[in-house]
């Protein structure tokens, strides 16, 4: 259909492209390739979760939920946070249930970033951050993570901070690299922000997917940081139900007050029966406490099955992503390489150059191992032949 000719549209994001996750999942479907690109499980979520959702729908929990989320879910998440990390949020006024972590990130950024404000992010980044900052007229300031293990260079962070710095976005465990923050990193962060008015936006969607004896350094563990942070997580990631799109954000009352002003006019409220189902399911902590072991086994299986291949893994300690370099196989840039991988070899992966400002091509691609063992076996067999 042609748009009415009197409308002269000025794009608010003229350079913004379709997200790589949509592009690669569409290519995987078209090519009937094994989809190790976009991050979601190919195994079902727990049958009890589905049963609970069904039960709550039959019970009549099908109308609008309260704007901040149903009370029992907020209470259970606040309790879980206190048990695991120590922070005591008020379930009435310091937590909001959102449409995935995506909405929480958008609402947090929109609530605090004013035109001209600078927001520090680390490169490579999760693809939503930059457009979200720019919609508010903010300026993303990127700091490269240092190879080979994608560490944060805290001297650089110190160097980039100035009077315009409004926020820093932290993401641990980190997508796409799998790096995790250490206690030393947190101490550096505490030192750096302590004399500033900087707000932290902490994307912790992989909080339960952490391996090798590392434990998650939630900003809800450190009162000096909790008092200036939005802490964001995703029940989709934790409970293998990314399509339900339920996430949440916790923050001190004054931050949450501004957050809710944004949330109430993006979505107003979130899917009611899903919230009740999660509230009940959260009463069984084993479902999230077993995730490190569950996903470490998958990571180790994938690494083991591909160890004879020409793909070289990069150490990861969290998330369900494994970076690998293909420089022993091809000189192609990573975008060309993943296209060919999907079309010729029927495996879809994510190129990492799209998560760099200048499209830096390290010949590194990302595989998602949140898959059935048989999917990983089939994929590894192909990768070993390349
Ligand atoms: N942040 C990161 C780092 C992610 O990988 C994702 C994708 N799950 C999100 C946020 C968005 O999470 P959700 O699917 O709950 O919106
Ligand atoms: N977080 C998922 C990933 O990194 C993708 C989510 C999305 O498609 N927006 O693959």
Res 148: pLDDT: 87
* Protein residue with its CA nearest to atom 15 in ligand 1: 100
Residue 178: CB within 6 Å of ligand 1?
Answer: no
User: In this predicted model, what pLDDT tens digit does every residue of 318-339 receive, in sequence order?
Assistant: 999 999 999 999 999 999 999 9
CB proximity list for 259: less than 8 A, separation 6 or greater: 96, 107, 108, 111, 230, 249, 251
Give, in order, the Cα–Cα distances in Å from 35 to each of 22, 40, 41. 12, 9, 10
How long a stretch of residues is the chain? Answer: 386
* Protein residue with its CA nearest to atom 4 in ligand 2: 39
pTM for this predicted structure: 0.97
Question: Which of 16, 21, 26, 206 to mutate for ligand 2's pocket (most ligand atoms within 8 Å of CB)?
Answer: 21
Residue 96: CB within 6 Å of ligand 2?
Answer: no
Tokens of 259: 């957050």
Nearest in space to 329 (alpha carbons), one of 287, 257, 384, 271: 384
Percent of the chain at pLDDT above 90? 98
Closest ligand relative to 170 C-alpha: 1
CB atoms under 10 Å from CB of 142, counted, come to 17
User: In this predicted model, what pLDDT tens digit does every residue of 238-273 receive, in sequence order?
Assistant: 999 999 999 999 999 999 999 999 999 999 999 999
* Protein residue with its CA nearest to atom 7 in ligand 2: 21
Distance 206 CA to ligand 1 centre (A): 9
Distance 299 CA to ligand 1 centre (A): 19
Res 137: pLDDT: 97
- Residue 229 dihedral angles phi and psi, to the nearest 5°: -125, 145
Question: Which of 20, 35, 40 to mutate for ligand 2's pocket (most ligand atoms within 8 Å of CB)?
Answer: 40
The residue behind tokens 């959260």 is 282
Q: How far apart are the first and last CA of the chain?
A: 44
Distance 194 CA to ligand 2 centre (A): 32
Residue 81: CB within 6 Å of ligand 2?
Answer: no
Give, in order, the Cα–Cα distances in Å from 327 to each of 331, 360, 362. 6, 14, 9
- d(CA 206, CA 299) in angstroms, rounded, equals 14
Closest ligand relative to 173 C-alpha: 1
Three-state DSSP state, 118: strand
Distance 138 CA to ligand 2 centre (A): 23
Nearest in space to 39 (alpha carbons), one of 19, 27, 21, 17: 21
Chain Cα centroid distance, residue 66: 25
Question: Which atom of ligand 2 is least distant from the CA of 175?
Answer: 4
Tokens of 138: 């903010």
Question: Which atom of ligand 1 is least distant from the CA of 242?
Answer: 14
Question: Which atom of ligand 1 is least distant from the CA of 203?
Answer: 1
Residue 21: CB within 6 Å of ligand 2?
Answer: yes
Residue 175: CB within 6 Å of ligand 1?
Answer: yes
Res 96: pLDDT: 98
Q: What residue ranges in 157-240 does DSSP mark as E strands?
A: 165-171, 199-203, 229-234
Residue 188: CB within 6 Å of ligand 2?
Answer: no
Closest ligand relative to 349 C-alpha: 2
Report residues of the chain scoring pLDDT below 50. Answer: none
- d(CA 340, CA 337) in angstroms, rounded, equals 5
CB proximity list for 284: less than 8 A, separation 6 or greater: none
Q: What residue ranges in the chain does DSSP mark as E strands?
A: 34-35, 95-98, 118-123, 139-144, 165-171, 199-203, 229-234, 247-250, 312-313, 321-325, 347-348, 350-351, 364-368
| Residue ranges of domains in the chain | 20-45+289-385, 63-285
Residue 175: CB within 6 Å of ligand 2?
Answer: yes
* CATH number attached to the domain at 20-45+289-385: 3.90.1150.10
CATH architecture of 63-285: 3-Layer(aba) Sandwich (3.40)
């Amino acid at each position: 259909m042609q748009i009415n000719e009197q409308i002269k549209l000025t794009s608010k994001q003229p350079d913004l492209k379709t997200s790589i996750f949509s592009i690669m999942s569409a290519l995987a479907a078209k090519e009937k390739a094994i989809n190790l690109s976009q991050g979601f499980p190919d195994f079902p979520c727990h049958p009890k979760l589905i049963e609970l959702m069904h039960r709550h729908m039959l019970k009549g929990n099908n109308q609008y939920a309260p704007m901040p989320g149903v009370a029992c879910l907020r209470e259970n998440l606040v309790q879980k946070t206190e048990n695991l990390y120590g922070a005591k949020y008020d379930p009435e006024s310091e937590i909001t249930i959102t449409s995935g972590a995506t909405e929480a990130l958008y609402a947090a950024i929109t609530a605090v970033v004013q035109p001209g404000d600078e927001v520090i992010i680390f490169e490579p980044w999760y693809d939503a951050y930059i457009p979200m900052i720019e919609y508010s007229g903010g300026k993303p300031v990127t700091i490269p993570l240092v190879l080979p293990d994608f560490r944060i260079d805290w001297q650089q962070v110190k160097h980039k901070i100035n009077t315009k710095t409004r926020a820093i976005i932290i993401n641990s465990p980190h997508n796409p690299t799998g790096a995790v923050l250490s206690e030393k990193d947190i101490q550096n962060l505490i030192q750096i922000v302590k004399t500033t008015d900087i707000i932290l936006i902490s994307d912790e969607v992989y909080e339960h997917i952490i391996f090798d004896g590392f434990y998650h350094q939630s900003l809800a563990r450190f009162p000096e940081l909790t008092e200036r942070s939005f802490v964001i997580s995703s029940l989709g990631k934790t409970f293998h139900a990314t399509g339900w799109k339920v996430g949440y954000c916790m923050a001190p009352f004054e931050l949450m007050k501004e957050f809710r002003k944004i949330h109430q006019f993006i979505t107003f409220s979130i899917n009611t029966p899903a919230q009740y189902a999660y509230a009940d399911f959260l009463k069984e902590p084993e479902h999230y406490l077993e995730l490190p072991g569950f996903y470490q086994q998958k990571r180790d299986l994938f690494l083991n099955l591909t160890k004879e291949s020409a793909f070289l893994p990069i150490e990861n300690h969290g998330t369900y992503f494994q970076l690998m370099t293909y420089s022993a196989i091809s000189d192609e840039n990573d975008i060309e390489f993943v296209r060919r991988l999907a079309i010729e070899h029927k495996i879809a992966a994510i190129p990492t150059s799209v998560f760099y400002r200048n499209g830096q091509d390290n010949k590194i691609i990302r595989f998602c191992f949140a898959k059935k063992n048989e999917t990983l076996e089939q994929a590894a067999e192909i990768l070993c032949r390349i």
